[in-house]
Chain A
Amino acid sequence: MSPRGAELPAPPRGASTPAEASAAALSTRGAVAFLTPALLLIGVFLIFPALWTLYLGITDYRLTGIQAAQPQVIGLDNYTAALGDPAFANSLWVTVLYVLGSAVIGQLGLGFALAWMFRRWQGPARNALEVLVIVAWIVPSSVVAFLWIAFLDTHNGTLNAALGNANIPWLFSWPLLSIIVFNTWRGTAFSMLLCGGALNTLPPSHLETARLAGASSWQQLRDIVLPSIRGHLLTNLLLISLWTFNDFTPYLITAGGPNFATDTLPVYIFRNALVNFQLGYGAAISAILLVINLGIALIYLRVLRARN
């Protein structure tokens, strides 16, 4: 080889050398090779079931009978049936109340309030508080459901005992309120930790400047804290709204009753698809739930973008 390849013609400007071209091909092939397993998993477990659900939603597929063996495509009949079903309207309304009550007001409101109240706590006291709220969040749903049934029981419940043998049938008289309080209790830890983290990002000098100007706690909260952590709050709200919308845990406590008072959409789908065997109908409702979730996400994204 001649020194420094002096005899070789210089490659034309802008064109890649064969070595560069093969490196690019190799990197593309490498990227495909690395991505394929993940794409396969996503395809098999996420995309295929979603498309399959959409397909089932336009059939009369059932768990038993002739339609189980030979489901027929029936077009949008499932959707028109759902929109005309008062039970579906009831479920939608119950779900909206459940999300507003337990996610928006309960978890976000209480979570932020706790984070704000305890923002100056440091050391062991703070750790103890965090452990306490996280426990409510990480205990398995079935265990938590049992604990709350025991807590709210009419005759032997802890709550009624604390109220002096009041014998109030909480789950019968106040079913929706009961599961809203339950889900608030269960999910507040997440919002509290997220809000606490958001409050920590606020430079101390911002609030100190406001205090020196004479701002009250409420003014500091309204003018400085909330606008500063708006992005965190909205992201948190999006997450907990979607989680609560799709939450099935209330079924473990009230089974959708009494008289469909806690029949949230996931419970409604479960009841129709797996209890009444109408898989096609359940799939159609699932698709509607998906659209509602997308709608919620779009609204939050719109609000989030509106800040700039």
Chain B
Amino acid sequence: MADLEIRGLTKVFPGGVRALDELSLHIEDGEFFALLGPSGCGKTTLLRSIAGLETPNSGKILIGGRDVTRLPPGARDLAMVFQDYALYPHMTVADNIAYPLKVRGVGRKERRDTAESVGRSLQIQGAMLDRRPGQLSGGQQQRVALARSIAYRPHVFLFDEPLSNLDARLRLEARTFLKQLQRDLGVTTVYVTHDQAEALALADRMAVMEQGRIRQLDTPSNCFLRPANIFVAGFIGSTPMNLLPATVQDGGLDVAGRKLLIPDAIRAQAKVGDAVILGARPEYVSVSATELPDSLGGIVRVLENLGVDSLVTVEVGDLLVKATVPEERVPAVGDQVWLQPAQGRLLVYRQDDGEQVGAPPVAPIEAPALAPQAG
């Protein structure tokens, strides 16, 4: 088992796309770590650099304290599961699982034994071992790919969106299974996904990436409850967070002509006249049919049924604010309602750099460089 350290990793592709920008990161031994971000944010490039499938322009990668930056993929002692599973169609399931062992010169008998024992722990057994991957269902193929990566006991698992090709229901089952498996094996795991729900559900810690940089490195619950900036706030959450322009006033916040209380935590840092963005998750906005003090009054415009609750879109002045309401208290379209963010759940960001009020200013992200820079 091993920890994983990334130091100042930079990767510029030919053509000038800066996929990784001086990225540093430490992943603990046995940790389940998720890399989350929109497509093109550099998460896959980071994973492939760790694997040795991409060569970074500068920076270092250490696995268990050993510098592997210049080592070929096969010498790094890690296993990767790809989105398409990369099962060999011409080999049986057992041969697929044991292929890494064959490469290492393990004998036929021992390979078969390992395939059987690893397969059994993943419910791949009996006649299934002698089938071809093409005869298996998507979920079974996914487990075979997992079995192959487990079979040779690597120090680090790399997952590149391994659940994306499964249908929604199976994906949830596979997610639980994967988390349980990682717990049992205790192998350091890096998991790339663009699905924020997957990252929140699986990871011990996660990095939210944008344009080759980490925008927030934290536990899933902190990323969800206290996004460090507007980017993370907008990216995480299955219903998009309300991001409302506001102005700091004496003793409160002005939102579209309405007044909200200023959160205690930032009262000291906010100056009167500051332009800010308020972040409030729809789940943390309460809807009242009677007028409340320090709330946003508006008219219900859209109702969306989410199952357990409904998503209400309310027109407040020239803003649209969303809130979820439980099934028994759904208002009607056209109703006048008053919205109030829950205590301690209202987030305030600076309008200029998008960071939380009170956080130190950060360097803005530049436009992608046009020419590769010397590393």
A207 nearest CB neighbor, chain B only: B86
B362 within 8 A of A: no
CA distance A203 to B85 in the complex (A): 10
With most chain B CB atoms within 10 A of its CB, the pick from A203, A209, A227 is A209
B78 contacts which chain A residues (CB < 8 A)? 212
Residues of B277-294 at the interface with A, using a CB-CB cut-off of 8 Å, are: none
Residues of B56-75 at the interface with A, using a CB-CB cut-off of 8 Å, are: 72-75
With A203-B86, A208-B86, A223-B99 given, is the CB distance from A214 to B104 under 8 Å? yes
Residues of A205-241 at the interface with B, using a CB-CB cut-off of 8 Å, are: 205-206, 208-215, 219, 223-224, 227-228, 230
7 A-B pairs closest in CB distance: A214-B74, A213-B100, A205-B86, A205-B82, A227-B90, A209-B86, A211-B73
A205 contacts which chain B residues (CB < 8 A)? 82-86
- Chain A interface category by residue count: 10 to 19
Inter-chain pairs besides A205-B85, A208-B80, A213-B74, 8 sampled, C-beta below 8 Å: A208-B82, A209-B148, A211-B52, A212-B78, A213-B152, A223-B88, A223-B99, A307-B90
B232 within 8 A of A: no
A215 nearest CB neighbor, chain B only: B103
CA distance A267 to B51 in the complex (A): 58
CA distance A240 to B86 in the complex (A): 32
Q: Are A206 and B86 in contact (CB under 8 A)?
A: yes
Q: What does DSSP make chain A's interface, helix, strand, loop or mixed?
A: helix
B79 within 8 A of A: yes
Q: Are A212 and B99 in contact (CB under 8 A)?
A: no
Residues of A at the B interface (CB closer than 8 Å) are: 203, 205-206, 208-215, 219, 223-224, 227-228, 230, 307
Q: Are B89 and A212 in contact (CB under 8 A)?
A: no
B83 nearest CB neighbor, chain A only: A205
Q: Are A209 and B82 in contact (CB under 8 A)?
A: yes
A307 contacts which chain B residues (CB < 8 A)? 90
Closest chain-A Cβ to B190's Cβ sits at a distance in Å of: 13
B185 contacts which chain A residues (CB < 8 A)? none
B26 within 8 A of A: no
Residues of B29-72 at the interface with A, using a CB-CB cut-off of 8 Å, are: 51-53, 72
B102 within 8 A of A: yes
Among B51, B82, B90, B103, the residue within 8 A (CB) of A214 is B103
Among A203, A210, A212, the residue within 8 A (CB) of B51 is A212
Q: Are B102 and A212 in contact (CB under 8 A)?
A: no
CA distance A207 to B71 in the complex (A): 17
Q: Are A214 and B86 in contact (CB under 8 A)?
A: no
B103 contacts which chain A residues (CB < 8 A)? 210, 213-215, 219, 223
CA distance A222 to B139 in the complex (A): 29
B82 contacts which chain A residues (CB < 8 A)? 205, 208-209
A226 nearest CB neighbor, chain B only: B90
Q: Are A214 and B75 in contact (CB under 8 A)?
A: yes
A224 contacts which chain B residues (CB < 8 A)? 88
24 contacts between A and B (CB under 8 A): A205-B83, A205-B85, A206-B88, A208-B51, A208-B53, A208-B73, A208-B80, A208-B82, A209-B80, A209-B82, A209-B86, A209-B148, A210-B99, A212-B53, A212-B74, A213-B103, A213-B104, A213-B152, A214-B73, A214-B75, A214-B104, A219-B103, A224-B88, A230-B90
With most chain A CB atoms within 10 A of its CB, the pick from B72, B84, B102, B103 is B103
Q: Are B79 and A212 in contact (CB under 8 A)?
A: yes
With A208-B82, A210-B99, A210-B103 given, is the CB distance from A215 to B74 under 8 Å? yes
B84 contacts which chain A residues (CB < 8 A)? 203, 205
Q: Are B88 and A212 in contact (CB under 8 A)?
A: no
A203 nearest CB neighbor, chain B only: B84
Q: Are B99 and A211 in contact (CB under 8 A)?
A: no
A210 contacts which chain B residues (CB < 8 A)? 99, 103
A211 contacts which chain B residues (CB < 8 A)? 52-53, 72-74
Residues of B166-202 at the interface with A, using a CB-CB cut-off of 8 Å, are: none
Q: Are B86 and A223 in contact (CB under 8 A)?
A: no
Closest chain-B Cβ to A218's Cβ sits at a distance in Å of: 11
CA distance A211 to B72 in the complex (A): 8
Q: Are A228 and B99 in contact (CB under 8 A)?
A: no
A223 contacts which chain B residues (CB < 8 A)? 88, 99, 102-103
A228 contacts which chain B residues (CB < 8 A)? 88-90
CA distance A37 to B135 in the complex (A): 45
CA distance A256 to B103 in the complex (A): 50
Closest chain-B Cβ to A12's Cβ sits at a distance in Å of: 45
CA distance A59 to B125 in the complex (A): 67
A227 contacts which chain B residues (CB < 8 A)? 88, 90-91
B53 contacts which chain A residues (CB < 8 A)? 208, 211-212
Residues of B72-124 at the interface with A, using a CB-CB cut-off of 8 Å, are: 72-76, 78-80, 82-86, 88-91, 99-100, 102-104
CA distance A215 to B100 in the complex (A): 8
B72 contacts which chain A residues (CB < 8 A)? 211
CA distance A228 to B99 in the complex (A): 15
CA distance A243 to B181 in the complex (A): 56
A122 nearest CB neighbor, chain B only: B14
CA distance A228 to B152 in the complex (A): 24
CA distance A230 to B141 in the complex (A): 23
Q: Are B88 and A214 in contact (CB under 8 A)?
A: no
CA distance A215 to B148 in the complex (A): 14
Closest chain-A Cβ to B88's Cβ sits at a distance in Å of: 6
Closest chain-A Cβ to B318's Cβ sits at a distance in Å of: 49
CA distance A203 to B87 in the complex (A): 10
Closest chain-B Cβ to A17's Cβ sits at a distance in Å of: 44
B148 contacts which chain A residues (CB < 8 A)? 209
A206 contacts which chain B residues (CB < 8 A)? 86, 88
Closest chain-A Cβ to B288's Cβ sits at a distance in Å of: 53
